[in-house]
Chain A
Amino acid sequence: MSRTLHRRDLLRQSAALAGGMALGFGVPRVAVASAASWGDLVGRFVYAGTPPERKKLKVDKDVECCGKFDIRDESLMVASDGGLANLFVYVRTRKVDVCPELAESAPKRVTLDNRDCIFMPHCMTIWFGKQEFYIVNSDPIAQNVAFSPLGDTPANIVLAAVKDTKDAKADTNISATWKFNRAQIIPVPIACNYHPWESAFVLPRDNPYATVTAADGTFRLAKLPVGKLEFQVWHERVGYLDTPEWPKGRFEMEIKPGVNDLGTVKIAPARLEKN
């Protein structure tokens, strides 16, 4: 309890200082104050096996457009050195304090692009209160984007084809701005009813402490509140990434000011096989 109060005080203090910064003084002091209350978590996930071959997907719709792309399975993305991409890493602890700087620095939107007949990116997280979900079509064919988040409005969106012209004004109805109304505890699958091979995942959360491992398997959760936090790791192949150390893909960590390094986490291939 006293820790929470203490943290709230610090939060208020740094918010006040941030206000001061906006007026043009005290910049270094802000940095000091927030460095004391917030810490980053970094780490790298590695697939402890031979990188699997990505299966070519059956592309049998809109072949004249999509047939020219080498469309492959994205459900397990391993770099040549083992880096494991597309793992969702997020804070499971409820009602965490949020570093005010993040509200300023978070990009205003998270974009899902329909490009080259796939969704790009394949995995994304969104701080739904602050960020909008911008869905756009970049292909010369119509696209559909369908997802049903639990307890939230279902989406089944049609985006018009991008016209074969240099006139950008001709391209109407090629984008949508979606609003999530609640956090999800696991990522929401996104499908395209026109092109069954297309797939993506989005995780809406009520805080900025969610991310996806990059192509090299690394991740960073920036400016976490210091103190003990529980984290969740999720992968589309198996859901909660269950390991001997982390049952159901959950681990606790005492976040300290500065950088907290989880190090390299090796994941046995069997952990990513469906039972």
Chain B
Amino acid sequence: MVGLCLVAGCGWNPPPEFELNLEGRPRKSVSAEQREAIAKMLQRLFGTPDRPQVPDGVGLDRSLVEMAAGPPGGDAQGNQRGLYRRHCVTCHGVTGDGAGPSAALLDPYPRDFRRGVFKYTSTKAGIKPLASDLRGTLTRGVAGTAMPSFAQLAPRELDALVEYVKYLSIRGQAEQYLFEQVVDDEARLPLDLGQVLDEGVLPAARSWEAPERNPELVIAPGPRPPVDTPEALAASIARGRDLYASKDAQCVRCHGPQGDGNGEEKELYDDWNKPKKGVTPEQTAELERLYKLPIQRLRPRDFRQGNFRGGVGPEGRHLYYRIYAGIKGTPMPGVGPSPGAPGVMTSEDIWHVVDFVRSLSRK
């Protein structure tokens, strides 16, 4: 150590590394050989935090990814570098695991990008967000959470961060695949690069491209029922109230009859926290130890506060998206039709519910 100080200077820090996703796994359940095989394959495909790579066939803009990656700084032309480490890493972590140094202090926790699931999107249920959705979250911030607005960044800087979030997400999904194959299925090592690309990387990349290419996967709200007179608005709110309480929509179950987030269902967890939940408190304590962050319960939104995490949007358009497709990665299901799901509300119904929900915060 002393020798290292002499050679490199005491301010020397090793370059940051991506961390393996051992969440939920007892450490000894993954052998050193398996760990090395996964880490090596990931590095071969995606590079390192300082020198990221975009695997062949993955439609990410390499120059944008590079702009976000690496240590913070800029070049002589004033182009920013290292944007992710400058703006995001304290909460979201080098690996995008949502477990940066300050994460444990936050409620809700910062998003873990590695599952490839994002809550606030304009796409149908089960579909990845559009780049513009991630950009919207960056510019708006997430109301009622520690996520601030980055609206002051230059457009290209925002594009770079969006691209890097997608990069970390595709990398995280490829890593899930590798753990499935190498650890759970004990694939013979060394791994075949072509197979990993075909089965673990490209399907993840394609799922990100799908909504950008296929407008069918993006929510297209129908015409808004007119609410230009107080009477029309009152009628829409009344209709929305009925739909909100209807047997098929089930909104009251979590959000409560008053819309105060106090429904009968209390044991709610998102997909990031659900695996930490055991049947007994002892089991939960046991499981929590396998994760970086302790379990966090989900609180259904209290509409009276008017604090909507995914934003309200012009005429309540973002609320429409939330009701249509649900909130991804949470128990909140969508009531609009999506691939494989019939939906239980029409576009007009959804608008009425939007009007009702917004009316609660105006009081």
Contact = CB atoms under 8 A, between A and B. Distances in A.
Interface stretch (B152-160, B236-244, B245-253): B245-253
A151 B173 contact: yes
Contact of A181 (B203, B329, B343): B203
B334 interface: yes
Contacts of A61: 253, 264-265
Interface in B250-266: 250, 253, 264-265
Contact of B177 (A146, A151, A179, A194): A151
A160 B250 CA distance: 10
Contact of B250 (A150, A157, A158, A174): A158
A156 B207 contact: no
Interface string A39-63: 0000000000000000000000100
Interface in B95-129: 117, 125-127
B176 A151 contact: yes
Contacts of B247: 141-142, 161
Contact of A196 (B267, B335, B340): B267
A133 to B, nearest CB: 8
Contacts of B216: none
Interface residues of B, number: 39
Nearest to B341: A157
Nearest to A248: B186
Nearest to A250: B186
9 contacts: A151-B203, A154-B271, A155-B125, A156-B326, A159-B342, A173-B343, A173-B344, A186-B184, A248-B186
Interface in B195-223: 199-200, 203-204, 207
A115 to B, nearest CB: 17
A158 B185 contact: no
B344 A142 contact: yes
Contacts of B207: 153
B184 A175 contact: no
Contacts of A186: 184
B248 A160 contact: yes
A144 B343 CA distance: 11
Interface string A159-170: 111000000000
Which of the four size classes fits the interface of chain A? 20 to 34
A185 B187 CA distance: 11
Given A142-B344, A155-B126, A185-B185, 10 more contacts: A142-B250, A144-B331, A153-B126, A154-B117, A156-B332, A157-B333, A161-B247, A161-B248, A174-B342, A176-B340
Contacts of B332: 156
B61 interface: no
Interface in B327-357: 328-329, 331-335, 339-344
A266 interface: no
Contacts of B176: 150-151
Contacts of A193: 265, 331, 333
Nearest to B267: A196
B17 interface: no
Contacts of B315: none
A155 B199 CA distance: 21
A256 interface: no
Given A151-B173, A185-B180, A173 B342 contact: yes
A156 B250 contact: no
A4 interface: no
B342 A176 contact: yes
Contact of B341 (A142, A172, A176): A176
A194 B333 CA distance: 10
A63 to B, nearest CB: 11
In the A-B complex, the 8 residue pairs with the smallest Cβ-Cβ separation, listed nearest first, are: A193-B331, A153-B126, A173-B342, A157-B341, A178-B340, A156-B333, A160-B248, A160-B344
A80 interface: no
A142 B173 CA distance: 33
Nearest to A186: B184
